[in-house]
Amino acid sequence: MVIKHSGQRVGVLIDVQNLYYSAKNIYRAKVNFREILKTAVSNRNLIRVFAYVVRTKTNEEKPFFEALTKLGIETRVRDLQEFYGGQKKADWDVGIVIDAVRLAPSVDVLVLVSGDGDFVSLVEYLKNQGKRVEVMAFGRSASSRLK
């Protein structure tokens, strides 16, 4: 059983691309970031919350980024890279890891909102540092190594 209390200091790291594509492709739904944040914090003391987002050339995501900001979520923005042959990439994994390690001394609990199995080593590291780590993800798309 997970014990949560109001005195816990919480940091939340949201892998927006992971959530977006899981919701869209598996559940044909949209992500409610207000509810994600509410569930992640659970009446505890929120220290910081970051959402890792990707900006395209058209900047059509701007209203979405503004909506996140209105929720009190700090956005970390990376431009979508387009490679020869049409391949596109905007990988935030290293950025999320760096922020988690930097934020860890200021919090009791880190909530990782992602089902990406690439974060298993990060979760293990943080736990070895005495931090509590909670993972929020869609069950059907989350890596079994994070469960």
Within-domain flag for 144: no
**pLDDT, tens digit, 9 for 90 and up, residues 55-92:** 988 889 999 999 999 999 999 999 888 777 777 677 89
pLDDT at 36: 96
Q: Domain holding 62: CATH number? A: 3.40.50.1010
Helix 93-103 vs helix 120-128: crossing angle, to nearest 10: 10
- Asked whether residue 140 carries a pLDDT value surpassing 70, the answer given is no
Within-domain flag for 87: yes
Within-domain flag for 18: yes
Residues 6+ apart with CB under 8 A from 49: 11, 12, 13, 14, 37, 40, 41, 72, 73, 74
Within-domain flag for 142: no
pLDDT at 6: 87
Number of folded domains in the chain? 1
Range of the domain at 107: 9-136
Within-domain flag for 124: yes
Within-domain flag for 56: yes
Report helix, strand or coil for 49.
strand
pTM: 0.90
Report helix, strand or coil for 94.
helix
Look up tokens 């293990």; give the residue: 124
**103: closest CA among 42, 13, 21, 19?**
13
Within-domain flag for 143: no
Within-domain flag for 53: yes
Mean pLDDT of the chain: 90
Please state whether beta strands 109-113 and 132-136 pair in parallel, antiparallel, or not at all (unpaired). Answer: parallel
